Amino acid sequence: MRKLFGTDGIRGVAGKEISADLAFRLGNAIAQIVLEDGIKDLMVAKDTRVSCDMLEAAVSSGAASGGMNVKCCSIMPTPALAKVTDINHSAGVMISASHNSFEYNGLKVIKDGFKLPDAEEEEIENIILTGSIKAQTHHELGRITHYPEARGLYLRWIYKHFDDLDLSSFPCENGTKQLHIVFDASNGASYSITPEVYRTLGAKVTVINDNPDGYNINLNCGSQHTQTLADTVLELNADIGIAHDGDADRCILIDETGREVDGDKIMAITANYYKETERLANNLVIATVMSNLGFEKYITERGMKLLRTRVGDRYVLEEMKRKEAMIGGEQSGHIIYFDRNTTGDGLITSLTVLETMNHFQKRLSALINDIPRFPQVLKNIHIRDKEKIMEAAELSDALDRARDILKNTGRILVRPSGTEPLIRIMIEGNNEEQITQLANELLATVEGLNA
């Protein structure tokens, strides 16, 4: 069982679980692993957290001491770093805790555009935990340099795939208009690059939460806190609201009426677009066990098939590769369009939705109106020992009782978070009052075990 890596890299409180010493050891361990594959360069990028500079210096020093040349890409989204490592046949470390608040940070390891497989993560973890540092002699040390070209590489990739998308002349009821986008940057890694792309493609852009100070990343903003975005869309009579999380691999939307559009609905409408344009390989979409049954009903009725995986974008991607699927993702807005990037990409997701609106010549509200949504209740609780609680007989008994009451009218999922000290409870069914009561009873059981 892995002790450091979760479903999305190593994550914890900066200066505590995520220390400079850990970052140094990680950089050195990466050098020991990937140099054997002929990879000599390590790209390092970061989001806007106050702890990122410290961790950037440490992981870079560790890799350089192990003989790798380190190229510091500065602040950029995780998917941008993934694409740069893909283009350059290199490894990468993204310093970010994604949607978490500023006190957390994380270290995500990438190679040739993909997160490392479990086996390589375990190998790196073993090197870190056993203290097996390998420092090269003076003439074999790596160099650490700045790499501003990374931004341009990613932007050229984006424009290559969306060069036909004209946001200055967008279809509307009375002909065409300049699309007005409200963008919530979450005070994170996309605060500069994403608005630039929208404007270059011709949109009018109003940006909110684009003044990062090291402490305000994801603070009541971004993909997990969309009320201000919705209010701004309505106030300005804008056409669409777009929100990313701290490292911009997620995308949540607001339609022109102020309604939130989650990852399930985004996958539904873009899968329909891909199918109509004959790009949906095997008519298949990959989602997780968290995705709503209404989403599954929508795509099934349109001749597509949904396959589910355990929660985590790495597991979605693995299944996409196995089944040769083109679209996969999570309700949280982490969506992969495999013909365009190797990981979830908030910018690509939003641009694909805009393409979909353009193709069907419909507003976002009209596109999502036909997608049913089964009542779903989600509960999260902070806990001390995830494994102990998940193995408790009391929780098992409570789950049996809840499933007996629900029978075949819905689904129950209780799972530990792979990125936070949380247990997540999800119940879905036809009767919202019933599933809310069942979720509260399960929550009380977990709280009792955590007391």
Cβ atoms of residues 205 and 233 within 8 Å: no
Q: How many CA atoms lie within 13 A of 289 on its CB side?
A: 16
CB atoms within 10 A of CB 176: 11
**Ramachandran region, residue 399 (left: φ > 0; alpha: ψ -120 to 50; beta: rest):** alpha
**Ramachandran region, residue 30 (left: φ > 0; alpha: ψ -120 to 50; beta: rest):** alpha
Catalytic residue among 19, 60, 90, 98: 98
Q: Is 98 marked active-site?
A: yes
If you search the block for the tokens 């997780």, which residue do you land on?
A: 288
Tokens read off for 158: 């984006």
Strand 376-382, strand 335-337: pairing: unpaired
| Burial call 418-449: b when 16+ CB within 10 Å, e when fewer | bbbebbbbbbbbeeeebbeebbeebbebbeeb
Q: Point out the residues that are catalytic.
A: 98
